Amino acid sequence: MSLSGKLEKDVKATTANKLLVICIDRDDDLGRKTGIPTPVVGRDACIEAAQRLALEDPEDADSNSIFFAVKTYEDLVSKGYNAQVITVTGVENRGVQADEKVASQIKSVLKKFSANGAVIVSDGEDDEMVIPVIQNVIPVISVQRVVMQVSRTIEHSYAVFGKFLKLVMYNPKYSKFFLGVPGILLLIGGIGAVTGYNAEIFAVLVTILGGAFLIRAFDIDKVWANWAKPTPEGFIRMFTLITGLILIAASIPAGIATVSTENISSDVGFVNIITDNVVIGEFVSGMIPFLWIGLGTIFIGILFSNWLNRKLRHITDILRIIVLVALYPTVYQFTNILMYEESSFSLILPLVVGFVITFASATLLIRRYKKKKDGNELEL
């Protein structure tokens, strides 16, 4: 006889010299169907128990597991190992009571056969759930599964599906999407069916579903969760973000209010209005103060948040603010070119000055923090 490749590898990798081959019947099919008391100890006793179980229920896979345990025992003995084979059972309802019974039976066997390593034989993942309990009693050096290929695939699929359902039902990270969104849709759909506003309700359902897909696809919920954590820096980020977005939104009506009414008379077409250089210049000139203040508010919030977290990323945060300030004269001059037809060469001076300020600031900041943080990698 020869050991299977996996078993031989597992046995050779351990220093255990007295091995206990344990066949697990966690739901006690053997005891309930044959009345045989457990633990069943020894080769002959296990073969008799397997035969009795096969006669009582030929479709029960536990009889095959017992025969496989006996074969594993014989293979170990033929290779010169000091081994013993046993069959242990739990209770019909499984659970903690079954695991305690299995552990108790193994302990009773170890009093007579002091093994220092165990080879587990089971017919599926349910029986293997007791392995962590057995590990507290005796070291497990190998696990042998005995399942027909089709049955194994079905059982594995069932186990994976069961874990997925448990994850969806009880893990808030997934349940809020897989249960929350369908729950809202069903609730709104039910209200629509009762009230008769089917068309309106359908539009709401499509909007909610589309919004949920967008949020999940672009990780908007994760981004917001990181921004709105209940910490001092989280509150700073949340406040400055909301304030900045409001200011950015306010820049649009501010830009519209700056446009002269003389340039948007009713006899001028809409396309001509939005392509007129003067209108664009006036709109941008009125828009950029609020837009820049809004962006600056968001950037300052990020800077303070990273500073409170003692992250070196505030080097980048400072540079972001400097670039924003350095770009303002260039954008402002661009609006003057549109409104007053100034020369395009007038952009050169603010561009050069902005570039010099940005380059000098970046050089000074990077050198400073490289000296300050010895060996620490800058998070730029």
The reply to whether the predicted model has a pTM over 0.85 is no
User: Does position 58 have pLDDT exceeding 70, yes or no?
Assistant: yes
Greatest mean pLDDT among 249-263, 282-296, 309-323 lies in: 282-296
Phi, psi of 140 (to 5 degrees): -95, 120
Q: Is 90 exceeded by the pLDDT of residue 70?
A: yes
198 pLDDT more than 50? yes
In this prediction, residue 213 carries a pLDDT of: 76
pLDDT of residue 377: 46
Q: How far apart are CA 102 and CA 6, in angstroms?
A: 25
- Residue 88, classed as helix, strand or coil, is strand
The single-letter DSSP state of residue 116 is S
pLDDT mean across residues, the chain: 81
**pLDDT for the residue 220:** 66
Q: Which CATH architecture has domain 5-157?
A: 3-Layer(aba) Sandwich (3.40)
Question: Distance (Å, rounded) from C-alpha 286 to C-alpha 335?
Answer: 10
Encoded tokens for 139: 């070291």
Mean pLDDT in residue range 26-33: 88
pLDDT in tens, 314-362: 678 888 889 999 999 999 898 888 888 788 888 899 999 989 998 998 8
Whole-angstrom distance, CA of residue 339 vs CA of residue 291: 19
| Contact of 84 with 118, CB cutoff 8 Å | no
- What is the b/e burial string over 117-134, where b = at least 16 CB atoms within 10 angstroms of the residue's CB? bbbbbbbbbbbbbbbeeb
**Domain chopping of the chain, boundaries:** 5-157, 171-218, 226-372
